[in-house]
Structure 1
Amino acid sequence: QAQAERFGAKFDYDLVTEVDFTSGSPFRIKTQNGEYLADSVVVTIGASPRKLNVPGEAEFTGRGVSYCATCDGWFFRNKDIIVVGGGDSALQEAIFLTRFASSVTVVHRRDTLRASTSLQSRAFANDKISFIYDTVIDEILGNPEIGAVRAVRLRNLKTSEVSEKPIDGVFIFIGYDPNSKVFNGQLKTDAAGYVIVDNHMRTNVDGVFAGGEIHDDIFRQAITAAGQGCAAALMAINWLGEHADSLQVIEDEQRDAPIASGKTLAEAVSGD
């Protein structure tokens, strides 16, 4: 950040509430605290992991509850953990977590997994992985003395039986939701809502680029998001140079907007 600021970048911590890409450059971006005008926009708004929305989840996030195995797996060396989910991501992360954990229990709300056959075969063959089917977590319980997860309360959906299982960590992999609703259909997305870009990080709107988890539903890593964001920024710079003589004129009173004409706006929304 310090390096970017040294070269003239400005950081405004705000939440984007509305955009107008329909008239071309300059683009209008409304936030909770004002309105911005930009000749080009780089969208790095990310995707949010789906939550269980059960008691204890928010309280113990970062203290036993996690949504990223590669980020937090090391902290659970020789621990017993639960992975919630039954798709490819859940099994991939469960297999990865066996590098660290003593045991990994996959909790799935259905009686069959949705993951690919090859992933299921690898998981079933791993002695550290066990499965609990037809079951959901109703509550994540913590140890108040140390502020960490100690157990989960499970409920069988077929029998309604409730049980408590001691556990050291809960990894939740039930999907992601790209934060693309704010664009209100102005950017082309796939069926899941991820923004579609070409090999040059260009969206369907000329002058608008995207990088990171807003379009990437595969890697979801900070380093890949940073690389894609860098590529999108470079393409925005090239675009501004190519259109320097044809960009729409911004009236004098509009030049006092928080970000002036000729600057690229990286949407100020927490994400990648």
Structure 2
Amino acid sequence: MTHQAIILGTGPAGLTAAVYLARANMEPLVIEGPEPGGQLTLTTEVENFPGFPDGVMGPELMDNMKKQAKRFGATFERGWVTDVNVDQRPFKLSVDGLGELEAQSLIISTGASAKLLGVPGEKSNIGKGVSTCATCDGFFFRGKKVVIIGGGDSAMEEANFLTKFADEVQVIHRRNELRASKIMQDRARANEKITWALNKTPVEMVSDGMKISGVKVKDSDTEEEELLETDGIFVAIGHNPNTEFLKNKLDMDEKGYLLVEPGTTNTNIPGVFACGDVQDQKYRQAVTAAGTGCMAAMDAERFIEGEATIDWSQSLS
């Protein structure tokens, strides 16, 4: 059986694409990876997704999106894509547990994973005071003291952003010198709310079982350890796009993010589309991912059906 459309990934981008394609009677098959729902399943309360004035739990939002897509005819299968052949159509996918699948169009929405330090107390406290997204979670730390771990541009940008809410933002970096550009360093150093813990390497994140209370760091020179008390920890050491299985298959930048034609979700292979964080290293928000998921669905249907045959009035209503 050759599917009209296969979607890889079930974050906001993939699920939005599934809703649109299912409503257009294209019966998309959605392949769920090892972490269905994407990064939002690691988030407790989401307060910046439109339509939820009182906020919504991340896993609940993803579950509702999935139910919505299923209602219109999308099907879901759990599997791990090991190989993709996009040299000719129909495209062929090798999926552990499902065998070989064929598709006339392919939507890549496998997202990006935040890099973690791998220290004790980190992963177990995500959503309990540990975060990888200042824009998503900064509001919850109004009037608090937080730390941000990292020394690049994104860490400096997030440190400045967090000062809108927190009373103090302490930057922890394992070296004495930051990797950030001079302009970003100058901006952070000029901010009176930002303090510095340089030449310190985090070795453990400490909590009382319910929320974070501190981070244990080791001096990179003396190896002496100390506990820095904090209400929240933001890890800002970068992201890895989940595109390893697409190397030498699709065009991507030096970091591995898929390249798309500006203003579209078209990759360099006709019929293959990319949406969400897998092609966006700038915004990385649930709502922007959902928007590009809508774009990918529209681009895919136009590719399959032809521009003149499309009536988007139902999908857009």
- What TM-score range do you get, normalising by the shorter chain? 0.7 to 0.9
- 2:79 aligns to what? 14
Percent identity over the alignment is 42
- Structure 2 equivalent of residue 166 of structure 1: 229
| Deviation of the 1:4 alpha carbon | 3.0
Match of 2:305 in 1: 241
Count of matched residue positions in the alignment of Structure 1 and Structure 2: 240
Could you tell me which residue of structure 1 aligns to residue 51 of structure 2? none
CA distance in 1, matches of 2:159, 2:187: 10
Helix, strand or coil for the counterpart of 1:55? coil
Aligned match for 1:104, one of 163, 169, 172: 169
Question: Residue 202 of structure 1 aligns to which amino acid in structure 2?
Answer: N
The partner residue of 1:78 within 131, 138, 143 is: 143
Partner deviation per Cα, 1:62-84 (whole Å, 9 max, x = no partner) = 10110011111111121111100
Offset, 1:18? 2.3
Distance 1:59 1:3 in 2: 30
Root-mean-square deviation (CA, aligned residues, Å) is 1.6
Bigger fraction of residues in helix: 2
Choose from 79, 84, 87 the match for 2:152: 87
Give TM-score scaled by structure 2 length. Answer: 0.72
Comparing 53-62 with 223-232, which one deviates more in the overlay?
Answer: 223-232
**In the alignment, residue 171 of structure 1 is paired with which amino acid?**
F
Taking the aligned partners of 1:3 and 1:135, their CA distance within structure 2 comes to 47
Partner amino acid, structure 2, of 1:168: D
1:49 aligns with 2:49: no
Counterpart pick for 2:241 among 165, 178, 195:
178
Q: How big is the shift at 1:181?
A: 0.4
Q: 1:123 corresponds to which residue?
A: 188
SS state at 2:123 partner:
coil
- Name the CA distance, whole Å, in 1 between partners of 2:90 and 2:172: 49
Q: Following the alignment from structure 1 to structure 2, what is the Cα–Cα distance between the partners of residues 13 and 169?
A: 34
Partner of 2:130: 65
**Residues of 1 paired with 2:97 and 2:288: CA distance?**
31
Q: Which has the larger radius of gyration?
A: 1
**Further displaced range: 170-179 or 28-37:** 28-37
TM-score (norm 1): 0.84
- Give 5+ residue unaligned stretches, structure 2: 1-64, 308-317
Q: What is the DSSP-based 3-state SS (H/G/I as helix, E as strand, rest coil) of the residue aligned with 1:213?
A: helix
Q: Deviation digits for residues 143-164 of structure 1, max 9, x if unmatched?
A: 13xx211111101112212111
Aligned residue type for 2:173: H
Do structure 1's residue 196 and structure 2's residue 259 form an aligned pair?
A: yes
Pick the aligned partner of 1:225 from 275, 278, 289. 289
Matched, 1:151 2:214: yes
How far apart in 2 are the matches of 1:118 and 1:219? Answer: 20
User: Following the alignment from structure 1 to structure 2, what is the Cα–Cα distance between the partners of residues 174 and 4?
Assistant: 34
- Distance in structure 2 (CA, Å) of the matches to 1:139 and 1:124: 26
For 1:30-68, what per-residue CA distance to the aligned partner results, in whole angstroms no more than 9, with x for missing partners? 323203221100101111110000000011111011001
Q: What CA distance in whole angstroms lies between the structure 2 residues aligned with 1:106 and 1:181?
A: 31
One-letter code of the match for 1:114? R
Quote the offset at 1:88 in angstroms: 1.0
